[in-house]
A and B are shown apart, each in its own frame.
Chain A
Amino acid sequence: MKMLLSGNEAVARGAYEAGVKLAAAYPGTPSTEILENIARHFPSIYAEWSPNEKVAFEVGIGGSLGGGRSLVAMKHVGVNVAADPLMTFAYTGVNAGFLLVSADDPEMHSSQNEQDNRILARFAQIPFLEPSDSQESKDMVKIGLEISEEFDIPVMLRMTTRVSHSKGIVELGEPIEVTKDKFDRDTRKYVMVPGHAKLRHANLLERVERLRDYVEKSPLNRIEEYDTKTGIITGGISYQYVKEIMPETDIFKIGIGFPLPLKKIREFLDKREKVIIVEELEPYYEEIIRAAGMTSVEGKRYFGREGELSPYRVALGLNDAGLIDEAPKAGHEPEKLFPRPPVLCPGCPHRGLFMALKKLKLTVTGDIGCYTLGTLEPLKSLHTCICMGASIGKAIGMEKVNGSDRGIVAVLGDSTFIHSGITGLLNAVYNKSNITVIIADNRVTAMTGGQQHPATGYTLMGEETKKLDFTALARVLGVESVRTVDPLKYEETQKIIKEEVERPGPSVIISTSPCVLMPKRIMETPYEVILDLCNGCGICFRIGCPAIYPSKELNKRGKPKAEIDPALCTGCSLCSQVCNRGAIVIKQSIEKVK
């Protein structure tokens, strides 16, 4: 049977067919749909959202050591969080197969950087597989788990956004049952104290040597021959772009990127006049191949190290390299147009919070989530964003060197706080930091599409569970002042933030109101502008709500009055709270006036 599946859906299907027993993840674009699909379609697999990627990875280790094939999934930067267990798990090795799915995001469609995790796999000395479409995504889950068991090593499946989020036709297979021995208390293998770890490090290097033979014979590293004088080495999504542009040229398609099949690559090179490497992001293949003495290959000078490749960019590069004659071009001249960046939704509770922070002119260290959009015009009230949970540490450091006279506030979301903000908050208490931490609690992991987390009261598999209480947690960490505010109440939000910023010692404000999109769409009665009362002052435009637009009716100075799109307005009332003229009212009340 065949189905149209995205790369992520195919990974979920692959897990099912390969007899995976346990899957764990923290949501992150472009990886999120893997666990969602496992939980939705394959209930035979235990699946969980963990609080962060490190915990997910460790749960996966436990699953593997316990004898069940395990899969953990995360976005590229999530692997940084999980890097600690990863580096040493490579030493101990597995019991049942262990697959780390790393979904990288070249072009940063929804990420803070575009690091190339192929390098991280090599750093850890673990093999990685690189699917180029949905079919391979599914197949490589199973092959990866087999390699993991045969070589006693965790394996990375390295996806990219275009593989994860593109759909293609996939041939489905039947699930297999895999039985492994239960955990064996082999402490020399699993307890990484120096004496054991020295032996396991040597052992890891031996395993990698054996893998070098394996990759030379694996059909995942294949040569497609058309008897051309030139050849191309490529892998992952870049392979598809090359096939698109030059369907009948000799290709060395890399399916296992670490270790590289250097003998086979050398043979490929020896038989051809010119060989070009096409790879996205870093010159990963290129540097290893050149370091092995094959210095005639070229790659990055034609394709660049930044952003996503595309058929267009690959055609440009191949033209530049002299492999194709015609340079690609646009069909029509591009237009210069206003940008359409993502914005906080109409009714988003984060808007009220950032309006208050803007009014108070505070320095705000920020974090990762929808609320990072608070940095954009016109709210422009979030001033740093590095990685998950960093807001608190950054605020502490800044306060230590600058003092807190002008107020330093850390803002992070509910899910982000759970992910890696708790230790930061503990540090603020322990090291007597005078900062205010605001948990922008919209009661869901919103940015990635509305996933559960430990404070929602539900698990990924839909079971009811204990619900984390932020107030109790902050108190038990030693925060003396913990307040709760509804950010849709503008004046009160300002007042509470002001009081807490002025209070000595660390304090926590839980700014809580549900996301307007998830888990259910909130649509209250919309608001409307009474144009006779509106004087076109523009204050409501400056809250950046997509539902408010300039009217054709102008004020005395020729500036537009405001109108509200009733199809977009959720009735949050923030605009009416800033209007000095009382011109913005609930639609119903206009009816009553009439």
Chain B
Amino acid sequence: MKNGIKNILIVGVGGQGVLLASELLSEAAIMSGFDVKKSEVHGMAQRGGVVSSHVRIGKKVYSPIIQYGQADILLSFEQAEAMRAVDWLSPEGKVVVSNTRLVPPIANFGELGYPDDPVAEIKKKTGNVIAVDADKMARDLGNMRLVNTILLAVASSYIGFEKNVWEEAIKKLVKPKFVDINLKAFAQGRGLTIN
């Protein structure tokens, strides 16, 4: 953390729910009395491209984007995307990464293929990695769309804020009929930590 600001970089692939996760995070920060700025790029990203959302939380936040090399937490919805964004992480920063693998056609036929084990590559650089089998957890809960809530819940232990604040944020932003299942997903992810 620099200047008392917490920098969270959320990355994934278009359609994975990166934006809802960053909305929930921002809402929890506001409810906890912080200034928040967040930034993401829409447009072409929707078509299966890389999506990233920068969230910055502190007493007073100026830039809506994180300075390169200063992310405190990298929350990745996809293994290779965590690898792609690892240089944004500060030397002490933590990585929360879903075991999801999304292999685009170009990685099958282009010059560079999809790495065998992106998480292992990241672990060569930093010990602060928690890999979450979020796909399986979501499947067990009966809804693949819960992946984002599970991952956010894992990261939440490192971000701070009271547990009930996160729950209030979910109640405020998630459609009423999905609130209960999201709360359940959050509770399951909340306990997971780096070991």
Interface hits, B101-116 → A, CB 8 Å: 103-115
Task: Tell whether B17 is near chain A: CB-to-CB under 8 Å.
Answer: no
Task: Tell whether A190 is near chain B: CB-to-CB under 8 Å.
Answer: no
Task: Tell whether B67 is near chain A: CB-to-CB under 8 Å.
Answer: yes
Q: A312-B67, A312-B69, A337-B84 are in contact. Are A110 and B44 (CB under 8 A)?
A: yes
Cβ-defined partner of A344 (8 Å) among B47, B81, B87: B47
Docked CA distance A161–B89 (Å): 23
At the interface with chain A, which of B33-41, B150-158, B176-184, B185-193? B33-41
Docked CA distance A328–B67 (Å): 9
Task: Tell whether A553 is near chain B: CB-to-CB under 8 Å.
Answer: no
Q: Is the Cβ of A343 less than 8 Å from the Cβ of B105?
A: yes
Q: A4-B36, A338-B106 are in contact. Are A167 and B46 (CB under 8 A)?
A: no
Q: Is the Cβ of B144 less than 8 Å from the Cβ of A567?
A: yes
Query: Binary interface profile of B, 101-135, with partner A (CB < 8 Å = 1, else 0)?
Result: 00111111111111100000100011000000000
| Residues in A whose Cβ lies below 8 Å from that of B67 | 244-245, 310-312, 315, 328
Q: Is the Cβ of B50 less than 8 Å from the Cβ of A340?
A: yes
Interface hits, B65-99 → A, CB 8 Å: 65-71, 80-81, 83-84, 86-91, 93
Q: A244-B67, A331-B88, A331-B93 are in contact. Are A345 and B105 (CB under 8 A)?
A: no
Docked CA distance A340–B105 (Å): 9
Query: Binary interface profile of B, 15-46, with partner A (CB < 8 Å = 1, else 0)?
Result: 00000000000110010000111111111111
Docked CA distance A22–B134 (Å): 47
Task: Tell whether A66 is near chain B: CB-to-CB under 8 Å.
Answer: no
Task: Tell whether A317 is near chain B: CB-to-CB under 8 Å.
Answer: no
Task: Tell whether B195 is near chain A: CB-to-CB under 8 Å.
Answer: no
Minimum C-beta distance from A238 to chain B (A): 10
Docked CA distance A112–B111 (Å): 26
Closest residue of chain A to B70 (Cβ to Cβ) is: A331
Q: Is the Cβ of B68 less than 8 Å from the Cβ of A548?
A: no
Task: Tell whether A30 is near chain B: CB-to-CB under 8 Å.
Answer: yes
Task: Tell whether B164 is near chain A: CB-to-CB under 8 Å.
Answer: no
Minimum C-beta distance from B190 to chain A (A): 23
Q: Is the Cβ of B48 less than 8 Å from the Cβ of A549?
A: no
Closest residue of chain A to B110 (Cβ to Cβ) is: A338
Q: Is the Cβ of A337 less than 8 Å from the Cβ of B80?
A: yes
Docked CA distance A517–B103 (Å): 21
Docked CA distance A237–B39 (Å): 12
At the interface with chain B, which of A195-203, A278-286, A456-464, A538-546? A538-546
Cβ-defined partner of B47 (8 Å) among A312, A334, A373, A567: A373
Q: A311-B63, A541-B108 are in contact. Are A332 and B91 (CB under 8 A)?
A: yes
Task: Tell whether A335 is near chain B: CB-to-CB under 8 Å.
Answer: yes
Interface hits, A509-550 → B, CB 8 Å: 517, 541, 544-546, 548-550
Docked CA distance A345–B121 (Å): 29
Docked CA distance A338–B172 (Å): 38
Cβ-defined partner of A331 (8 Å) among B61, B71, B106: B71
| Residues in A whose Cβ lies below 8 Å from that of B93 | 331
Docked CA distance A548–B108 (Å): 10
Interface hits, A376-403 → B, CB 8 Å: 377-378
| Residues in A whose Cβ lies below 8 Å from that of B110 | 338-339, 377
Interface hits, A1-57 → B, CB 8 Å: 4, 29-30
Q: A169-B36, A247-B3, A335-B84 are in contact. Are A30 and B43 (CB under 8 A)?
A: yes
Q: A335-B86, A548-B105 are in contact. Are A342 and B69 (CB under 8 A)?
A: no
Give the number of residues in A that approach B within 8 Å (Cβ atoms).
Answer: 58
Task: Tell whether A76 is near chain B: CB-to-CB under 8 Å.
Answer: no
Closest residue of chain A to B56 (Cβ to Cβ) is: A244
Q: A169-B30, A550-B108 are in contact. Are A343 and B62 (CB under 8 A)?
A: no
Q: Is the Cβ of A340 less than 8 Å from the Cβ of B91?
A: no
Closest residue of chain B to A32 (Cβ to Cβ) is: B42
Q: Is the Cβ of A342 less than 8 Å from the Cβ of B13?
A: no
Task: Tell whether A333 is near chain B: CB-to-CB under 8 Å.
Answer: yes
Q: Is the Cβ of B112 less than 8 Å from the Cβ of A338?
A: yes
Q: Is the Cβ of A333 less than 8 Å from the Cβ of B105?
A: no
Minimum C-beta distance from B103 to chain A (A): 6
Cβ-defined partner of B115 (8 Å) among A4, A337, A448: A337
Docked CA distance A111–B59 (Å): 35
Minimum C-beta distance from A580 to chain B (A): 20
Q: Is the Cβ of B44 less than 8 Å from the Cβ of A342?
A: yes
Docked CA distance A333–B71 (Å): 14
Task: Tell whether B49 is near chain A: CB-to-CB under 8 Å.
Answer: yes
Q: Is the Cβ of B108 less than 8 Å from the Cβ of A546?
A: no
| Residues in B whose Cβ lies below 8 Å from that of A62 | none
| Residues in A whose Cβ lies below 8 Å from that of B87 | 330-335
Docked CA distance A585–B83 (Å): 36
Task: Tell whether A449 is near chain B: CB-to-CB under 8 Å.
Answer: yes
Q: Is the Cβ of B109 less than 8 Å from the Cβ of A378?
A: yes
Docked CA distance A378–B109 (Å): 9
Docked CA distance A243–B64 (Å): 11
Interface hits, B138-185 → A, CB 8 Å: 144
| Residues in A whose Cβ lies below 8 Å from that of B13 | 340
- Name, among B62, B86, B103, B104, the residue most crowded by chain A CB atoms within 10 Å (CB to CB): B62
Docked CA distance A545–B47 (Å): 12
Task: Tell whether A240 is near chain B: CB-to-CB under 8 Å.
Answer: yes
Q: Is the Cβ of A312 less than 8 Å from the Cβ of B37?
A: no
Docked CA distance A182–B109 (Å): 64
Contacts A162-B39, A377-B110 known; list 12 others, CB within 8 Å.
A4-B30, A109-B43, A310-B68, A331-B86, A331-B87, A333-B125, A335-B86, A337-B83, A338-B110, A343-B49, A343-B104, A548-B105
Q: List 26 A-B contacts (CB under 8 A).
A: A29-B44, A109-B44, A109-B45, A110-B42, A162-B64, A167-B38, A168-B36, A169-B35, A237-B64, A310-B65, A330-B88, A331-B89, A334-B86, A334-B87, A335-B86, A338-B106, A338-B113, A338-B114, A340-B49, A341-B106, A342-B44, A377-B110, A541-B105, A541-B109, A544-B105, A546-B104
- List the 5 closest pairs (A to B, CB-CB), nearest first: A110-B43, A166-B64, A342-B47, A312-B68, A311-B67
Binding site for B on A (CB under 8 A): 4, 29-30, 109-110, 133, 161-162, 165-169, 237, 240-241, 243-245, 247, 310-312, 315, 328-345, 370, 373, 377-378, 447-449, 517, 541, 544-546, 548-550, 567
